[in-house]
Structures are given as C-alpha cells and as structure tokens.
C-alpha cells in the first residue's frame, strides 16, 4: 500500500515538473507586450473595428443546455437546498447516481447549423460574435489539447468552436471567444459533497469519483462561487495551456474574461503571461496592427471580492448586465441577455422595446452591447429569440446609420431616465428620453418613444445649441425633411403622421458644427 501511494506521488511530481518546465519554455519575449501591467497598459489600444461595431452576439451553450435550467446547473444540482437540486432529483435521479457527467452523452447538438446561426446574427445587425468557449463547468467546446472533456470527443463529438469560427468569418463578422474557466476549480466543488438529510444522507455525490477528476477536479473543500483565492500550480497551468490553445488555434480577435485576471495568489501573473502572448500573436497575425482585444470585469475593489486581479488599462472594461448613468471617456462593453444566459424555460425574456432602447442608450455612452441569446441543446433557437433578433434587425436596417460607426456627442442625452435597470423586462423610457450620437458634423437625436405630433429636444435650445445653424432635420425611414423651429425651449420637430418603425426613432440633424 505504501509502495502504491509513493508511486502515485512520484507520478504527480513528475507530471507537475513537466507542466512547469513547459510553461517556463513558452514565456519568452514574443513582441512589444511583456507579461506585466506597465508593458501591457502602455501598448494596449482599443481597435477601431470594435469602436465601430457597437453590437455583438454571445451564446451560452453547453452540457447544461440539456437540463433547460440555466448555465449554473452543474453547481446548483449538487445543493440540496436549491430548487434545481429538486428538479434534478425528479428528472434524472440522485446526484450520487446521475451526476453532471451523465448529461454529456445527452447533449447531441443534432440540429446545429452554424451558418443558420450566423445568418440570423448578421440579419440582427451584429458585427462580431463571441460564443462561450468554456463555462464554469470546465467542458471545452473545442477540440481541446489539454482537456479530454470536450465537445469534439464527447457529447456532440464536433469541434463546435471551429465550426462557429468558420461560419463567423464566412459572414464577415469578427470572431471572439469568452472564457469562464478560472472559477471552475471552486465552482464545481459542490459536486464533492453529500446530502445532510434524507435517505441519501452522507452518500457522496459523483464529483468524488477519481476517474472524473478531469471534469470535477480533486476534492479540496473550497466551494466559493468566485475565483479561487489560492490555486495549485497544476490548475494555473491547466488554465494557461487551455487559453493558449484557444489563442493559437482559434485566433480570436476578442477574448472576454468572466472576471479580471486570474490568479489572486500570484497577482495575476499567469493572466499577464497569457495576455502578453495573445496581444503579441495578434500583432503578428494582423501585420503589426493592433486588432485584438480583451474585455474584462472589475474595479479597484475586485481583489477583495475574489474576482481576480484587476488593473486598469490592459483591456476594455465590461459591465455585466449594467449600463453606466453617464458618458464614459473610454470605449466599453456591457454583456446582457434577452433573458437567461443558458437556455432556461423558467426565465422570461425582455421586450423588444427594452432591448432596442437599451442598445441605443449604451451606444450614446460610448459603449457596445454584447447580446446573449441562449440556444437549446439541439442547436436551435426558440421562436421568441428568433423574433427578438429579427425585430432588432428590422430596426437596424432603418436606423443603423445612427449607431454603427457613430461616436458620442458632448453629452449622451436628455430626459428623466439616466439608464435602464439591470434585468428589467419593460423599457422605462418615454418620448422625453433622447439619446445622441454623431458622425462628423451630423447629429442624431434618437427619441426613445413616439413623441406624437412634436418632438422637443431641449439640448438644442437656441441659447444652448452648438455653433452653426441647423439646416435640415430628417427622420430615418421617412422620405423628405421635417418642419422644425428652434427657440429657447428647444428644437421642436413636427413629426410625420406615420411611424417609420415600431421602436426608437432617429432624427438626423445637419448644419451644426460639432467638432
């Protein structure tokens, strides 16, 4: 017994040394980006394509889609006090007998058509697509070199990410990926527990099975929902190798991290190494142009909240589900969903009106919207998702010039509502809420509800208006100029009898000197 234990320890030590040696070998200088904050901050630039894009599409699709209860299913199904546990017990059985691993063969993606997806996303107006490459469950959606639990070898048995990348580039969109992997080490520790009451009290869940450590990790007891505060070397190297595999073989122009830089115990050094490699290889791939980017989350308080190591200026900040109440100087992004992140039949969707109003509000504040739409396990979208995307596309086909390629004005807008509430289904905006965008000396005033006979823009009152003289006011989607007057109360525009679209209404104003 002692001999077997000693042999096992030797194997682990040798494996660890190989991993560390390989890691040391691939961290040499590759270009101007070095693996430290100062170098990355001094060299990072937001690409122009991102500033012009305004709208991206995002999907959470994985093993969890089978259960139709959201992307946190793999954690929640092991919590006996969670409604998802009760659902799992009733639908599949006890998690000691039917665990998360047993959902993998049920995920077949049998109706998946990547070109149909991209047709729909392009119709909606998206300029980039960033599917979730790996969620907290640690199941890779690509032909992963370092994770045998992946979609190419199990479940669908297809390189889903490779198929999506090919379709994205074919349709002329930028391709990105999102990674939620760093949390997995703690996030899945609930699978190592056991019921504390009932007939299965004390019976270990299937996460303790040694043959599935590659999915569930070893038992260590830290069940935090956030990044692990202390990570073993093998987990850091696993994250690093899998991220490098993504970068080198799937060549994303955008990487989204669900948090800041891992890992807390090395002040993000492992993250810096991966990030420097990503930026340097991006330069080589794009002929020396800075075309690749990172979006990440956090603030100065991030470390205390256990979301990773946050330092400003090394990427572009993402505000999950939230919209600032002011115009931000630097470009930013918010990722939001039409409803749940992963497909979930119990969660309602937002209205199209709210979706479009939020999109306009984000763009007026120098931001981009990365809109999540949840596919079903078979690779199709439900009717509500398709309807929302098609309605967004109709609106963009009429009003797109007011958003795509635009830049913010001196202030984002006017009206009583400063920003929509997170997760709200119904739009709070009225005809008094107006958002501004610009293109050279053209100003767009987007009225977020139909104003009736007259739209009043107080920011363009005679005593407040910028230099120049308003020559023409037009309504996108309506032929011919509109009648208007300008006095100390504002610019008053006589609206046509018929609406050109069903949602926010964009006025094109020319003659002012905005620059």
SS3 category, 31: coil
| Placement of tokens 């200088």 in the chain | 29
372 in any annotated domain:
no
Which band of pLDDT confidence, cut at 50, 70 and 90, is reported for residue 203? Answer: very high
298 in any annotated domain:
yes
Check whether residue 312 and residue 429 sit in a common domain.
Answer: no
CATH of the domain at 497: 2.60.40.1180
- In this prediction, residue 21 carries a pLDDT of 40
- In this prediction, residue 471 carries a pLDDT of 97
Check whether residue 135 and residue 260 sit in a common domain.
Answer: yes
Distance CA 512, CA 468 (A): 4
- In this prediction, residue 357 carries a pLDDT of 98
CB 443, CB 509: distance < 8 Å: yes
Average pLDDT value for the chain:
94
CB 437, CB 409: distance < 8 Å: yes
Check whether residue 101 and residue 225 sit in a common domain.
Answer: yes
CB 392, CB 355: distance < 8 Å: yes
- In this prediction, residue 19 carries a pLDDT of 45
Q: Is the pLDDT of residue 12 over 50?
A: no
Residue 450's Cβ-count burial label (10 Å; 0-12, 13-18, 19+) is: middle
- In this prediction, residue 306 carries a pLDDT of 83
Check whether residue 307 and residue 428 sit in a common domain.
Answer: no
Distance CA 409, CA 514 (A): 8
DSSP 8-state secondary structure symbol assigned to residue 230 = S
For residues 299 and 152, the model is more confident at 152
Q: Is the pLDDT of residue 325 over 70?
A: yes
351 in any annotated domain:
no
Q: For the whole model, what pTM was predicted?
A: 0.95
Q: Is the pLDDT of residue 274 over 70?
A: yes
> Tell me: the pLDDT tens digits for 247-266?
999 999 999 999 999 999 99
Q: What's the angle, vertex CA 19, arms to CA 18 and CA 21, rounded to 5?
A: 65
Query: Domain span at residue 141?
Result: 25-318
Check whether residue 311 and residue 430 sit in a common domain.
Answer: no
Beta bridge partners of 132: 178
Q: Is the pLDDT of residue 28 over 50?
A: no
1 in any annotated domain:
no
- In this prediction, residue 307 carries a pLDDT of 86
16 in any annotated domain:
no
Q: Last residue of some domain: 296, 318, 340?
A: 318
| Placement of tokens 């979730």 in the chain | 132
328 in any annotated domain:
no
Which band of pLDDT confidence, cut at 50, 70 and 90, is reported for residue 463? Answer: confident
Q: Is the pLDDT of residue 101 over 90?
A: yes
Check whether residue 288 and residue 175 sit in a common domain.
Answer: yes
Q: Is the pLDDT of residue 445 over 70?
A: yes
Distance CA 159, CA 136 (A): 19
Tell me the chain's radius of gyration from C-alpha atoms: 25
Q: Is the pLDDT of residue 329 over 80?
A: yes
> Tell me: the pLDDT tens digits for 406-442?
999 999 999 999 999 999 999 999 999 999 999 999 9
Q: Is the pLDDT of residue 26 over 90?
A: no
For residues 28 and 465, the model is more confident at 465
165 in any annotated domain:
yes
Q: Is the pLDDT of residue 4 over 50?
A: no
CATH of the domain at 124: 3.20.20.80
211 in any annotated domain:
yes
- In this prediction, residue 328 carries a pLDDT of 98
Q: Which range, of 193-202, 301-310, 427-436, averages the lowest pLDDT?
A: 301-310
- In this prediction, residue 30 carries a pLDDT of 83
Give phi and psi for 61, each to the nearest 5: -145, 130
Q: Last residue of some domain: 269, 289, 318?
A: 318
Of 318, 293, 413, residue with least CA distance to 370? 318
Q: Which range, of 18-32, 252-266, 386-400, averages the lowest pLDDT?
A: 18-32
Which band of pLDDT confidence, cut at 50, 70 and 90, is reported for residue 288? Answer: very high
Which band of pLDDT confidence, cut at 50, 70 and 90, is reported for residue 15? Answer: very low
Q: Is the pLDDT of residue 3 over 90?
A: no
Q: Last residue of some domain: 288, 318, 348?
A: 318
Q: How much of the chain, in percent, has pLDDT values that exceed 70?
A: 94
Number of domains the chain contains: 2
Check whether residue 119 and residue 246 sit in a common domain.
Answer: yes
> Tell me: the pLDDT tens digits for 34-69?
999 999 999 999 999 999 999 999 999 999 999 999
């Amino acid at each position: 017994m002692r001999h077997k234990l000693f042999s096992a320890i030797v194997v682990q030590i040798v494996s660890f040394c190989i991993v560390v040696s390989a890691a040391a070998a691939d961290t040499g200088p590759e270009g101007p980006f070095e693996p430290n904050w100062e170098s990355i901050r001094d060299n990072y630039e937001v690409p122009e394509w991102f500033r012009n894009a305004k709208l991206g599409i995002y999907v959470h699709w994985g093993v969890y889609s089978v259960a139709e209860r959201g992307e946190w299913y793999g954690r929640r199904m092991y919590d006996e006090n969670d409604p998802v546990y009760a659902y799992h017990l009733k639908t599949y059985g006890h998690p000691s007998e039917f665990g998360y691993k047993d959902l993998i063969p049920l995920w077949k993606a049998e109706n998946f058509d990547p070109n149909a997806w991209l047709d729909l996303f392009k119709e909606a107006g998206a300029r980039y697509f960033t599917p979730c490459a790996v969620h907290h469950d640690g199941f890779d959606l690509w032909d992963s070199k370092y994770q045998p639990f992946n979609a190419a070898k199990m479940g669908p048995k297809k390189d889903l990410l490779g198929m999506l990348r090919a379709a994205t580039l074919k349709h002329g969109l930028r391709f990105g990926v999102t990674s939620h992997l760093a949390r997995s080490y703690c996030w899945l520790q609930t699978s190592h527990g056991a019921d504390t009451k009932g007939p299965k009290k004390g019976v270990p869940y299937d996460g303790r099975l040694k043959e599935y450590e590659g999915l569930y990790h070893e038992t260590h007891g830290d069940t935090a929902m956030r990044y692990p505060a202390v990570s073993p070397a093998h987990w850091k190297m696993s994250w690093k190798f899998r991220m490098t595999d993504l970068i080198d073989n799937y060549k994303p122009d955008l990487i989204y991290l669900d948090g800041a830089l891992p890992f807390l115990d090395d002040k993000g050094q492992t993250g810096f190494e991966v990030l420097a490699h990503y930026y340097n290889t991006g330069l080589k791939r794009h002929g020396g142009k800075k075309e690749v980017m990172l979006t990440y989350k956090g603030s100065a308080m991030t470390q205390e909240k256990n979301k990773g190591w946050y330092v400003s200026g090394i990427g572009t900040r993402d505000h999950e589900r939230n919209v600032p109440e002011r115009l931000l100087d630097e470009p930013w992004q918010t990722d939001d969903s039409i409803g749940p992140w992963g497909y979930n039949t119990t969660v309602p969707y937002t209205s199209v009106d709210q979706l479009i109003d939020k999109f306009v509000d984000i763009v007026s504040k120098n931001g981009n919207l990365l809109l999540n739409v949840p596919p079903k396990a078979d690779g199709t979208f439900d009717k509500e998702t398709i309807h929302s995307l098609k309605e967004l596309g109709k609106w963009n086909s009429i009003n797109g010039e007011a958003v795509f390629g635009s830049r913010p004005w001196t202030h984002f807008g006017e009206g009583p509502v400063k920003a929509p509430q997170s997760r709200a289904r119904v739009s709070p905006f009225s005809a008094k809420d107006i958002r501004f965008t610009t293109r050279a000396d053209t100003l767009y005033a987007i009225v977020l509800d139909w104003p009736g006979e007259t739209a009043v823009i107080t920011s363009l009152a005679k005593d407040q208006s910028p230099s120049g003289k308003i020559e023409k006011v037009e309504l996108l989607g309506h032929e011919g100029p509109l009648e208007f007057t300008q006095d100390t109360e504002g610019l008053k525009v006589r609206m046509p009898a018929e609406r050109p679209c069903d949602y926010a209404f964009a006025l094109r104003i020319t003659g002012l000197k905005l620059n």
